Amino acid sequence: MITNFEKITSDLTDVELQFIPTLIKRFKYYTKIHPIKAPKIIEDFRGFGEYQLTEPRLRKMVNYIRSNGLLPLIATSKGYYVSHDKQEIEAQIESLLQRANSIKQPAKGLQNYLRNL
């Protein structure tokens, strides 16, 4: 769970965990030339009872799928898709590491600010 974002970054609920196999099955149909965007996934999940999937919770589910090595899921500005290509997976890993570093930089800047108070 991430401070200041507890509601959207909390652990997956039992209901959300039940959606993981369905999500994995759906993602397997999408390729680099035919990715799926988050709004379409959310729209497709509207018929699943009272649960309302949101983009932050979808990202949390995607994080779960990737973190547990359940599917080689790639995310780009064009959408999500599955790839078994080693170079594409390595590029996705590099992208994730770069994004993590870009988040660390402002945190370091704020730490420097606090040191100067």
Domain ranges of the chain: 11-82, 85-117
The pTM of the full predicted model, rounded to 2 decimals, is 0.87
Maximum alpha-carbon separation in the chain: 54
pLDDT band for 6, please (50, 70, 90 cuts).
low
| pLDDT at position 9 over 70 | no
Architecture of the CATH domain 11-82 = Orthogonal Bundle (1.10)
The pLDDT assigned to 117 comes to: 87
Query: Which residues make Cβ contacts (< 8 Å) with residue 75, sequence separation at least 6?
Result: 62, 92
Q: Tens of pLDDT along 47-64?
A: 767 788 899 999 999 999
| pLDDT at position 35 over 90 | yes
The pLDDT assigned to 52 comes to: 87
The pLDDT assigned to 38 comes to: 95
